[in-house]
Amino acid sequence: MSRQYYIAGNWKMHKTRAEAAALANELVEQLKGASHKYLVAPSFTLIETVAGIVKGTNIRLGAQNMAPEEQGAHTGEVSVLQLKDIGVETVILGHSERRHNYLEYDSLINKKVHLALKHGLEVILCVGELLEEREAGQAEKVCESQIVNGLEDVSAPELANVVIAYEPVWAIGTGKTATPEDADAIHAYIRKVIGRLYSSTAAENIIIQYGGSVKSDNVKALMAKENIDGALVGGASLKSETFVPIAKFS
Ligand code: 13P
């Protein structure tokens, strides 16, 4: 298997510039030479500060969202051109907090996916079911439709710049992690969907991260599963003491 582990920190709406700089400096220092692929995604106002610190290191720079258009009358939005201008390499799209709290829908997310890929950004496309959907036996169906719609008309070459993050909504920020077996089952299903939409090679190569209460004490068991290729970490990414042990799992 040629897939590389990819550990990403989604800082969500946390930190001032000084706090972000302190954390970024600690991560650069402590992840120097570490073996997996890494990303931090700070809030928009922090990106430029963090960019100056992670530039030229093994930590990629991400954003947590972006507008569906390049520029224009879009009050309150941030454009792909602006993100690229300050060094962003990756954008998280379709996070459950965007889907459920800010009512982002699949066709809007798909538009953002296309725009990001057109501009050469890596996309982390988040999918995941609500608790009631899981309890109703709908987890696979929900993830499948978020993937089919989110990737509509994305070409096979473009898919090489897409990472999927499976984040069951009920596991985000709750301290409840999916068991490694349950997570792996959905990851395997997602891989099957990618195989059907693209090819078996695409299915084999795509990185699928797990997100939802990943901590230093559960990361190893999750990553040991065949179809889990990394983590998208929220709460535990906010301190180097909690993120570095996750990032350096072996
Ligand atoms: P927690 O790690 O805080 O559960 O958040 C996961 C997440 O939403 C990452 O995008």
Asked if residue 131 belongs to a domain, the reply is yes
Token representation of residue 241? 């003491």
Asked if residue 117 belongs to a domain, the reply is yes
Q: Yes or no: say if 198 and 156 are a contact pair by the CB < 8 Å rule.
A: yes
Ligand 1 centre from 234 Cα, in Å?
A: 3
Q: Domain with 243 in it: what CATH number?
A: 3.20.20.70
- For ligand 1, whether the C-beta of 214 sits within 6 Å is yes
What are the tens digits of pLDDT across the range 201-238?
999 999 999 999 999 999 999 999 999 999 999 999 99
**Measuring CA to CA, which residue among 119, 113, 207 is closest to residue 160?**
207
What are the tens digits of pLDDT across the range 176-197?
888 999 999 999 999 999 999 9
- For ligand 1, whether the C-beta of 167 sits within 6 Å is yes
- One-letter amino acid identity for 81? L
Ligand 1 centre from 73 Cα, in Å?
A: 32
What are the tens digits of pLDDT across the range 61-93?
999 999 999 999 999 999 999 999 999 999 999
Asked if residue 226 belongs to a domain, the reply is yes
Asked if residue 165 belongs to a domain, the reply is yes
Instruction: Give the phi and the psi of residue 30 in degrees, each rounded to 5.
Output: -85, -15
pTM: 0.98
State CA 204 to chain mean position distance.
18
Q: Yes or no: say if 58 and 34 are a contact pair by the CB < 8 Å rule.
A: yes
Catalytic residue among 97, 122, 133, 167: 167
Asked if residue 156 belongs to a domain, the reply is yes
Asked if residue 96 belongs to a domain, the reply is yes
Catalytic residue among 95, 133, 140, 187: 95
Residue with tokens 């706090």: 19
Number of domains into which the chain is organized? 1
Q: Give the domain range for residue 67.
A: 6-247
Residue 1 has pLDDT above 60, yes or no: no
**Cβ partners under 8 Å of residue 248, min gap 6:** 31, 34
For the question of residue 70 being annotated catalytic, the response is: no
For the question of residue 14 being annotated catalytic, the response is: no
177 DSSP 8-state letter: P
Protein residue with its CA nearest to atom 9 in ligand 1: 234
**Measuring CA to CA, which residue among 71, 77, 68 is closest to residue 116?**
68
Asked if residue 1 belongs to a domain, the reply is no
Pocket test residue of 100, 233, 242, 243 for ligand 1, highest count of atoms within 8 A of CB: 233
Asked if residue 115 belongs to a domain, the reply is yes
- For ligand 1, whether the C-beta of 166 sits within 6 Å is no
DSSP-derived pairing of the beta strands 6-10 and 208-211 = unpaired
17-31 vs 240-247: helix crossing angle, rounded to 10: 30
